[in-house]
Amino acid sequence: MHNPLAEEAQLAQLQMSGAAAYWLGSRVNLAKAARQVGEDGLVIGNLPVDLLTGGSSEEVFRAAQDLLIAMRDCPNFILAPEDDLPPHTPLANLQALMEALNQFNSAA
C-alpha cells in the first residue's frame, strides 16, 4: 500500500487492508511502523522527495545513512524515497543514496 501522506495514527487502519507492504512518507516514524507491522509486512520509505530533488548529495547521503541506522534492527525495511521521484531529481543525489546503502550493507 502506497500512502506517502499517512500519519502514524492511521497505521492500524491501513493494516486492516491486509497489504503485504506499506510505502510510507516522512510523517511516519518507520522504526515504530516496522514494529507495529511486524516481520510479516514490509515497510518502505521514507526519504523526503524535497531533499532528494533540492538537497545536496552530502545531505542525501547523511539522511540515507541516518535512516538506515535507525532501521538496522528492522529486517522488513526497504530504503526508498517517500514518494515517486520527479524527472528533475539530480543524478548526484541518487548516486549518494546508493552510496549510503552500499556502505551500510558492506559494513553489516
**What tens digit of pLDDT does each residue of 59-77 get?**
999 999 999 999 999 999 9
When divided into structural domains, the chain yields a total of 1
**Of 10, 8, 23, nearest to 84 (Cα)?**
23
Structural domain harbouring 51: 2-107
What sign results for the dihedral spanned by CA atoms 20, 10, 79, 34? negative
> pTM here?
0.89
Asked if residue 43 lies in contact with residue 30, where contact means CB atoms within 8 angstroms, the answer is: yes
List pLDDT tens digits, range 73-97.
999 999 999 999 999 999 999 999 9
DSSP 9: G
**Of 104, 103, 35, nearest to 75 (Cα)?**
35
